[in-house]
Amino acid sequence: MRAVITVVGKDTVGILAKVSNLCAENGANIIDVTQTVMQDLFCMIMLCETEKMSAGFSEFVDKAEALGKDMGLRIHVMHEDIFNSMHRI
């Protein structure tokens, strides 16, 4: 299964590092990353493999959200299929 991680918020130092660190700690393999900074707003989308994750998926979701709260960002982890089903026929 593949998950999409979205990170939106005010740009600060080390966002990419902290989020990738979280993935590494939990065994989520990052496949693709896109990021843009529009004016002050940081926006990153990460696609990762979650098959070999050490923690359970819902635990990972909670950890990501908690990290977001700490950094004042909105971090969401969602199964890739929700985007595929919504935007592709």
The yes or no reply on residue 24 touching other proteins (CB under 8 A) is no
DSSP characters over 18-69: HHHHHHHHHTPEEEEEEEEEETTEEEEEEEEE-TT-SS-HHHHHHHHHHHHH
The yes or no reply on residue 87 touching other proteins (CB under 8 A) is yes
CB of 46 to other proteins, least distance (A): 10
The yes or no reply on residue 55 touching other proteins (CB under 8 A) is no
- Phi, psi for 82 (deg, rounded to 5): -65, -35
The residues that touch other proteins, with contacts defined as CB under 8 A, are: 4, 6, 8, 32, 34, 36, 43, 45, 47, 57-58, 61, 74, 76-87, 89
